[in-house]
Amino acid sequence: MTGRVRLVAGLLVCVAVAVTGCTAVGGANRPDSSAAGPTNASARGDNGDGTYRAPKVAPGPAIVIAHDSPYSAYNNKTVLTNNNPDNALVLNQVLADPFIADGNGKLLLNSDVLVSAELTAKSPQVVTYRIKPNVRWSDGQPWNCDDFYLAWLAGSGGSGYFKPATTRGYDRATGECRDKNTFVETYHAPYADWRRNYIHNAILPAHILERETGIADITKLNPQSPPADLRKAGDFWNSRWTGFNATLMPGSGPYQLDSSTPGAPTVLTRNKAWAGNPGGSERIVLTSVADGAAAVQGVANHQFGVVQLPADPLLADRLRALAGRGVVFEERGGPAAEHLDLNLASPLLKDPVVRTAFAQCIDRNKLVEELVRGVRPETQPLGSLAFLPGDAKYEDIYSDKMVADSRKAQVTLERAGWVLGQDGVYTRTGQRLSFAISHDASPGHSREVELIRTQCRQAGMEIADRATPTGLGDALAQGKFDVALTTGPRSPRAWSLADQYATTGPLNYQHYTNPEVDTALSVAETEYAESTQIDALRKADRLIADELVSLPLFQLPIMWAYTNNIDSVYRHSSTGVTWNANEWKVS
């Protein structure tokens, strides 16, 4: 599997789980949305100076969290696990991160474990992490630079023996341990988003890997080291941190894994070695409940304290109806959006006229009405590929292009020489206006494609439904598609846009190239000033919109509910409801 194919496949794993709250590649949030947002999205441990410290919380009873799929891996950063949201739910409280991303996307230095993490030079870019002394894993071993170094070594992918979900960011840097508590990254190219390199469960216990592989000192290993050593390290990192094994999986956060066996809940207990204030709940029990109705029933009975479910209008209605039984239901726009990706290598879709007409015939409002508003009534068609509604810089730049007017689409085609045949399908110089939409055959996507086919049939387009239950990975990677209906993460924006729309982007399976877009995305990735980043993203967004490369449909909502004996639960867009579970006051 080539790197590109692997990344495509990685995205599609993400796509497949998107309706459950797909985690971004690299998992992170939208930095510009920090100014606004609901109050329960803020971290209680926010010190107000850009740092976080776990707050003191009164001890409380165990809490049971019901979610979609079972926990499967301790290392959630491999190409296979790829930031699986159900794993993230478990790991949020088990593995300490250098930065805490709150529900508004604000990054806070985790001052329980770090002294600082700073950009210490710009040319070349140098980032220095200073780790607090005496921070320990739950097995008593130090949490130190070795663990950061391992994360870098694996994430950079340079050796070829580690199989990370993404190398973005890591691959621009060289990591080194100046001492046991000082980790330094030196970048060969500027990278403004450096804070996201090690967030969301990336720091794993190097001492375990050393012990299990016989490697004496992981920091002596580098991408040019003997292959045998790299293979040993890579094999362990890739595959041994799956499932549950108490001896291999210590905790570095407020909680640690206590038990997890197939078919049974995963149980977290307080990590006694944790450097900060302990979590409130005595235990956190995470149980997989695939049947949404059962999850609803469980929270209605207060059997579950929190439920994190896929967005589903029927379940949303049932949860809303439980308000009188002490259940709080909440929903909001999630981190993922549905869009149609057009293959510009297709003889038909490379024609901007066809793309224009296709954009014009789709009635996104109908899609939203039927598929989304049952969960989130205020949802509107999405107007950007870079930003989401709620982002400070969000602007709808597609409403004048995606006008939901089949007649206008007909006019567009006819003006370009397409002639309507007796069967109601346009042709031009013998070419029939017929193409397919590929999708993953999920019920939601199937219905979505059915609606689009009907809408665009009224504009003289014959669109086939190419459902691929096995996923779109191969079709996309091999360019065997006309239009793909995908669910893509929108954060971090610069990454997701560059991956998909930069000429050399690893996920640019649409064969799109525009030097101006490349330049803008490069600026977005390398400029340190957020306003410059955002302006560059907006420019790229507009350029891509003007060429109708992808057609945004709507932002997927996320939803959750909790019993009112918990003070507040907020579902993080990337990592789910447990991002601040240590802060919950449970009575």
Q: Does 424 bind other proteins (CB under 8 A)?
A: yes
Could you say whether residue 399 binds other proteins (CB under 8 A)?
A: no
Q: Give me the least distance between CB of 75 and other proteins, in Å please.
A: 51
Applying CB under 8 A, does 431 fall inside the site for other proteins? no
| C-alpha separations of 127 from 140, 153, 191 in Å | 28, 16, 10
Instruction: Closer to other proteins by CB, 412 or 563: give it.
Output: 412
Q: Is 415 in the site for other proteins (CB under 8 A)?
A: yes
Which of 46, 395, 405, 527 is in the footprint of other proteins by CB under 8 A?
Answer: 405
User: Do 560 and 547 touch, CB atoms closer than 8 A?
Assistant: no
Q: Using the rule CB under 8 A, is 220 a contact of other proteins?
A: no
Sheet architecture: strand order including 426-428: 419-420, 426-428, 431-432
Phi, psi of 104 (to 5 degrees): -95, 0
Q: Which residues ranging from 234 to 253 are in contact with other proteins (CB under 8 A)?
A: none
Of 224 and 422, CB closest to other proteins:
422
- Smallest gap from Cβ 353 to other proteins, in A, equals 11
What is the distance between the alpha carbons of residues 4 and 433, in angstroms, rounded to a whole number? 31
For residues 191-202, one letter each, b for 16 or more C-beta atoms within 10 angstroms of the residue's C-beta and e for the rest, the string is bbbbbbbbbbbb
Window of 174-182, 300-308, 379-387, 418-426 that interacts with other proteins by CB under 8 A: 418-426
- What does residue 246 show for φ and ψ, rounded to 5 degrees? -60, -35
Q: Given the rule CB under 8 A, which of 190-198, 290-298, 402-410, 475-483 is the region that contacts other proteins?
A: 402-410
Query: Among 2, 39, 123, 422, which residue sits at the site for other proteins (rule: CB under 8 A)?
Result: 422
Q: Stretches 64-72, 192-200, 288-296, 420-428: which one binds other proteins (CB under 8 A)? A: 420-428
In angstroms, the CA 371 to CA 365 distance is 10
Told to check if 56 binds other proteins by CB under 8 A, we report: no
> Applying CB under 8 A, which part among 65-73, 279-287, 435-443, 458-466 lies near other proteins?
458-466
Q: Among 5, 119, 420, 441, which residue interacts with other proteins (rule: CB under 8 A)? A: 420
Residue 429 sits in the site that holds other proteins (CB under 8 A)? no
To the nearest 10°, the Cα dihedral for 499, 503, 508, 509? -170
The CB density around residue 249, as the number of other CB atoms within 10 Å, is 26
Q: Which is nearer to other proteins, 39 or 422 (CB)?
A: 422
Candidates 26, 460, 492, 506; binder of other proteins (CB under 8 A) is 460
Stretch that binds other proteins, among 153-161, 189-197, 325-333, 456-464 (CB under 8 A): 456-464
Cβ nearer to other proteins, comparing 306 with 451: 451
Q: What are phi and psi of 568, to 5 degrees?
A: -165, 135
**Concatenated DSSP letters for 196-226?**
GTTTTT----HHHHHHHHT-S-GGG--TTS-
- The minimum distance between CB 546 and other proteins, in angstroms, equals 21
Number of residues that bind other proteins (CB under 8 A): 19
Under 8 Å between Cβ of 22 and 83? no
Q: 96, 459, 485, 502: which one contacts other proteins (CB under 8 A)?
A: 459
How far is residue 186's CA from residue 127's CA, in Å, rounded to a whole number?
7
514-529 exposure pattern, b = at least 16 Cβ within 10 A, e = fewer: beebbebbbbbbbbee
Shortest distance, position 454 Cβ to other proteins, whole Å: 8
Contacts 24+ apart (CB under 8 A), 150-153: 150/204, 150/206, 150/209, 150/218, 150/237, 151/77, 151/197, 151/198, 151/202, 151/203, 151/204, 152/183, 152/185, 152/197, 153/218, 153/221, 153/222, 153/223, 153/233
Q: Which of 182, 458, 532, 565 binds other proteins (CB under 8 A)?
A: 458
Neighbouring CB atoms inside 10 A of 219's CB total 20
State which residue, 320 or 401, has the beta carbon closest to other proteins: 401
Considering only residues 38, 124, 417, 479, which one is a binding residue for other proteins as defined by CB under 8 A? 417
Distance CA 433, CA 422 (A): 13
d(CA 587, CA 584): 10
Distances (CA, A) of 228 to 150, 163, 176: 17, 16, 21
User: Whose Cβ is closer to other proteins: residue 319's or residue 404's?
Assistant: 404
Residue 356 in contact with other proteins, rule: CB under 8 A: no
Contact at 8 Å (CB) between 437 and 482?
A: yes
Q: Which stretch binds other proteins (CB under 8 A): 61-69, 93-101, 201-209, 410-418?
A: 410-418
Closer of 46 and 462 to other proteins (Cβ):
462
What is the rounded CA–CA span in Å between residue 270 and residue 256? 6
If binding is defined by CB under 8 A, does position 50 make contact with other proteins?
A: no
Q: How far, in Å, CA of 148 to CA of 532, rounded? A: 30
Q: Exactly one of 78, 410, 510, 580 binds other proteins (CB under 8 A); which one?
A: 410
Question: Nearest-CA neighbor of 516 among 487, 549, 485, 491?
Answer: 549
Q: Give the nearest distance from C-beta 360 to other proteins in angstroms.
A: 12
406 binds other proteins (CB under 8 A): yes
Nearer to other proteins by C-beta: 428 or 511? Answer: 428
Asked if 450 interacts with other proteins (CB under 8 A), we say: no
Binding positions for other proteins, rule: CB under 8 A? 405-407, 410-411, 414-417, 419-424, 457-460
